[in-house]
Amino acid sequence: MNYQSPIQYVAQPTSSLDFRQHLKRRKVFEFPGGVALWLAASKVTALILVVAFGLQMWLGNSIGSSAQIVQELEATRHGLKNTQMVFLAERASLMSTKHVQEVAGAKLALFVPEEGQVYKFR
């Protein structure tokens, strides 16, 4: 005996699960990785650029001020070198034999003895 029942059992799911793949239309300017990733990356990049720009400005200012200090020191050194040359020339003239004899004769009445003034005692 063959019984065929006209009733068919159909199981319907309790939740609406859909296993089909929905085809989305791809946008022309879509960022790979999502907008949140690129927003965070742009914030970090902007922060790095601001810090680098500030550092460059600080270094440029430091180099400029140090260059000014070096120029002032070079001018001072040049002036001291000239003063040293003047002092060396004055010292050389003061240490000369002629000048020493003139000062000794004028202030102390000391003169170099001549041939006839030297007596040797034995």
Answer whether residue 5 shows pLDDT above 70. no
Judge contact between 87 and 77, C-beta under 8 A.
no
% pLDDT > 70, the chain: 75
Query: What residues make up the domain containing 46?
Result: 35-109
Residues 68-120: tens digit of each pLDDT: 999 999 999 999 999 999 999 999 999 999 999 889 888 988 877 787 777 77
76 lies in some domain: yes
Q: Say how far residue 52 (Cα) sits from the centre of its chain.
A: 12
Whether residue 114 lies inside any domain: the answer is no
| Residue 29, in any domain of the structure | no
What is residue 118's predicted lDDT score, i.e. its pLDDT? Answer: 72
The tally of domains found in the chain comes to: 1
CA distance 65 to 16: 74
Is residue 96 a part of any domain in this protein? Answer: yes
Range in 27-31, 39-43, 51-55 with the lowest mean pLDDT: 27-31
pTM score, two decimals?
Answer: 0.44
Q: Is residue 83 part of a domain?
A: yes
